[in-house]
Structure 1
Amino acid sequence: MRWLSWAGQEFNPVASQLYFEYIIKPRFNIGEPDTAAVARAQDGFRRLAAILESHLQDRRWVVGKTLTVADFSLAITLPYAEAVHIPLAEFPAVQRWHDTLCEIDAWREPFPEIAVAA
């Protein structure tokens, strides 16, 4: 519960701000990214990712020894890290953890093509 709450109240809002600035705004033609909002969100991400980085140093998963919903909750915006300028590469343990999540087919490709019957 601690990590789910932290994801919802702290970590994801800063990453979501970057998603809004770089994905949503262009998609709906509502302006250019706000450089001040981007800078605040990147600073916030760095501050919070440092906490997650420290926690993941000697762990494969966020909670215990198995994959939990906390992992998915924390990582929800990370597949878009490059597109939304999330400085993920600055946090090798977080990057490793996310790479491990990406080994899961359904995480890596959550929207498989639907086969069309002939």
Structure 2
Amino acid sequence: MTIKIYGDAGSGSLRRVTTAAKIMGIQLERVSVDLFKGESQTDEFKSRLNPNGLTPVLEDGDTILWEASAINLYLAGKVNSPLVGTTQEERFQVLQWMFWSGEQWRTFTTTIFDERVGKTVMGIAKDESLIKFAEGKIRAAAKVLDRHLEGRRFMVGNGLTFADIDIAAPFSQVGRAKFPFEEYPNLIAWHDNLLQSFPAWAETKAEVDNRMESFLASAGVKL
């Protein structure tokens, strides 16, 4: 049975799933959901797929699952993937960083993306105080990452895991949202290694960039 994944090609969260699926050798049927047209906000989408009106959403037979991290763990369980870690200790460390990424990292990069990109597209004034607050949180988290990544190629162990994929996700929009990542050399070096070592991460970067730049050009928006 075909596994469907609903999402917008410009989404860093969808990128986490499509990258992981490529690496795990799992075929997904892509179903486009145009977030810019509000296609995830319809009553049908919310009632059948995700009451939050967000993507990505996985559909595997009778199973409907949202949140990229949960989707990736579900897919990994199908193929016993080492992306979850190769030992019990590593698995808990991977989960630790996945949860940390959602609470201490991506939530603040999303805030800045919404302010600098989303509001520009909608023609709404940015909240500079909110941007400043979120940048402070990002810098605090990036300092933790930079220290952890010194001398490391991966977040956990000696290979790629979901900890890397989750924490790398904000790099999908770094140029457009102008996150202050360049201040942290170990963080930059780690992400450069992911791009060079994993073709799937580079391929999905190109997909996100093409989608976002095409949309911004069509909307006449310059960031």
TM bracket, shorter-chain basis: 0.7 to 0.9
Q: TM-score with structure 2 length normalisation?
A: 0.47
After TM superposition, list the pairs within 5 Å mapping 1:58-77 onto structure 2.
58-77=151-170
Instruction: Give the Cα separation in 2 of the matches to 1:80 and 1:50.
Output: 20
1:82 to 175, 182, 185: 175
**C-alpha displacement of 1:34:** 1.1
**C-alpha displacement of 1:100:** 1.2
Cα pair 1:14 1:45 within 8 Å, conserved: yes
The reply on whether 1:50 has 2:129 as its aligned counterpart is no
Name the SS for the 1:65 alignment partner.
coil
Query: Unpaired segments of 5 or more residues in structure 1?
Result: 114-118
The structure, 1 or 2, with the larger RCO (C-alpha pairs under 8 Å, 6+ apart) is 1
- The structure with the greater share of residues assigned to strand is 2
Name the SS for the 1:67 alignment partner.
coil
Alignment RMSD, CA only? 1.7
**C-alpha displacement of 1:48:** 0.6
Instruction: Give the Cα separation in 2 of the matches to 1:85 and 1:38.
Output: 11
Amino acid corresponding to residue 111 of structure 2 in structure 1: Q
Q: Deviations over 1:73-118 (max 9, x none)?
A: 01111132222121111000000111112222221231399xxxxx
Name the SS for the 1:98 alignment partner.
helix
Amino acid corresponding to residue 91 of structure 1 in structure 2: Y
Name the SS for the 2:175 alignment partner.
coil
The reply on whether 1:20 has 2:114 as its aligned counterpart is yes
Work out which of the two has the higher radius of gyration on C-alpha atoms and give 1 or 2.
2
1:106 to 197, 200, 211: 200
Which residue in the other structure is 1:6 paired with?
100
Q: Deviations over 1:54-74 (max 9, x none)?
A: 000011000100000110101
Instruction: Give the Cα separation in 2 of the matches to 1:46 and 1:73.
Output: 17
Query: Unpaired segments of 5 or more residues in structure 2?
Result: 1-94, 211-223
The reply on whether 1:91 has 2:91 as its aligned counterpart is no
Cα pair 1:60 1:97 within 8 Å, conserved: yes
**C-alpha displacement of 1:30:** 5.0
Matched pairs, number: 112
Which residue in the other structure is 1:35 paired with?
128
